[in-house]
Each structure stands twice: as structure tokens, then as C-alpha cells.
Chain A
Amino acid sequence: GQQVMQIPQYQHVQEGEDFTTYCNSSTTLSNIQWYKQRPGGHPVFLIQLVKSGEVKKQKRLTFQFGEAKKNSSLHITATQTTDVGTYFCAGRASGYALNFGKGTSLLVTP
């Protein structure tokens, strides 16, 4: 079945440093979504990418979808303590199921 791999599993940065998490799929994806989960909370939708090579920005967050639609990345510039949480990618290949990666937990220390 479809596998969505996400690295790294954990990342600890100093406030102000950049952060990147990567997502790779074993199959071509029709779309990919990114979610953020704060400690003790539920996943919250951040963005969806659909087109090959698509790049979207939300303030300090930059999302990319690979040309082959098998990989994606989330980059945060100048992290803040409010960025703490776990970031998940979720991809859909075919059918209706949306499969999540295991997530990258980000810790930001001031």
C-alpha cells in the first residue's frame, strides 16, 4: 500500500533558526496536505498542494510539492516558540484514503 515517510522524527532548534521537514511517498500523489498538531491538541490543516512543482507561502512557512509529485517539504524561517508542535504531511494517491506520515516534532527553545 501507499507509504508516506517523513523525516526527521524530531528537531530541536533555537528560536530564530530555520526548520525543514521532508515528506516522501512510495507512489505518485494526487495531492498532499500539511497539518500542525500542538501538544495535547488535534491536527489542524495548514495547506494543500496539488500541482507538480507547486510552492506556497504562509508568512514564515514555505511549502513545496516535488516535480514528480512524490515528495514535499515544509520550511519555517526564523522559528518562534509558537511554532512548537508536530507537523504532519498527508498524501492521497488514488481512491479516497488520506495517509499520514509519522510527523516531525519541533521543539523551539528561546
Chain B
Amino acid sequence: NAGVTQTPKFQVLKTGQSMTLQCAQDMNHEYMSWYRQDPGMGLRLIHYSVGAGITDQGEVPNGYNVSRSTTEDFPLRLLSAAPSQTSVYFCASSILAGQETQYFGPGTRLLVL
């Protein structure tokens, strides 16, 4: 199993550009989530999904969209990037929602100029 994979590893965007951060898992996990990590702020939940077709907002959802068309994939979309979205983004998955071990991907480092 590859576990949780994220692409790209690094990305530089200009303000106003859009992009999609990809996340995939091959463990047949129902629960997937996106976090952003900023210095001194810990991990903040952006969006999460408890299964295909079901998504919900976390603590900091503004400026981000998600969809879950398959169990395996959970892309995160930035519609109009802002410098405040410069961060490290982690995708995570678990068998069930909130009750089981979360497996994290390697992260995507995003810089918005």
C-alpha cells in the first residue's frame, strides 16, 4: 500500500491564481480530512469527509473547496489564492470518522506571492 499520497510536494502561486491539491489513499478509508499547519498554530482542520459524496467544514474552511466523488480521492481547491494561504497542507485518512488512527500524507508546501 502507498498509504496517503499528496501532490504536488511544493507549489508557488501568485495571488489570485487557482489550483488543486491532490490527495489519494489506497486503504479504503471512509474518513478523509485536510489540515493546514502554520508556525505556532498547530494543525487546523479545513474540511473533512466521512464518505464519498459527503463533505463538511472544519475550523478554517474559507477560501477552500472540496469534493469527494470517490472513496480514494479528496482534492482541495483554492479558487483564488491569497498570501494568507501560504502554509503546509496535510491530508489525512482513517477507517472511520474520528475514532481511529489518522494516517497523514507527506504534505504540500504552498507559497502564495
Residue positions of A touching B, CB distance < 8 A: 1, 6, 9, 30-31, 33, 35, 42-45, 48, 88, 90, 92, 95-103
In contact, A100 and B43 (Cβ under 8 angstroms): yes
Contacts of B41 in A (CB 8 A): 102
Contacts of A48 in B (CB 8 A): 100-101
**Could you count the A-B residue pairs with CB atoms below 8 Å apart for me: how many are there?**
61
Question: Does B40 have its Cβ within 8 Å of any Cβ on chain A?
Answer: yes
With A98-B102, A100-B35 known as contacts, the answer to whether A88 contacts B48 (CB < 8 A) is no
Residue positions of B touching A, CB distance < 8 A: 31, 33, 35, 40-45, 48, 50, 56, 58-59, 90, 92, 97-107
In contact, B102 and A97 (Cβ under 8 angstroms): no
Residue of A nearest to B35 (CB): A100
In contact, A96 and B104 (Cβ under 8 angstroms): no
Interface centre among B33, B48, B99, B100 (most CB of A within 10 A): B99
In the complex, what distance in Å separates the CA atom of A44 from the CA atom of B43?
13
In contact, B106 and A42 (Cβ under 8 angstroms): yes
Contacts of B99 in A (CB 8 A): 31, 92
Could you give 17 example pairs across A and B, Cβ below 8 Å?
Answer: A9-B40, A31-B98, A42-B104, A42-B105, A42-B106, A43-B90, A43-B102, A43-B104, A44-B104, A45-B101, A88-B42, A92-B99, A97-B48, A98-B98, A100-B43, A100-B44, A103-B42
In the complex, what distance in Å separates the CA atom of A45 from the CA atom of B99?
12
In the complex, what distance in Å separates the CA atom of A48 from the CA atom of B99?
9
In contact, B98 and A96 (Cβ under 8 angstroms): yes
Residue of B nearest to A91 (CB): B98
Besides A44-B104, A92-B98, A92-B99, 16 more A-B contacts (Cβ < 8 Å) are A6-B42, A31-B99, A42-B106, A90-B43, A90-B102, A96-B98, A98-B45, A98-B98, A99-B59, A100-B43, A100-B45, A102-B40, A102-B41, A102-B42, A103-B42, A103-B43
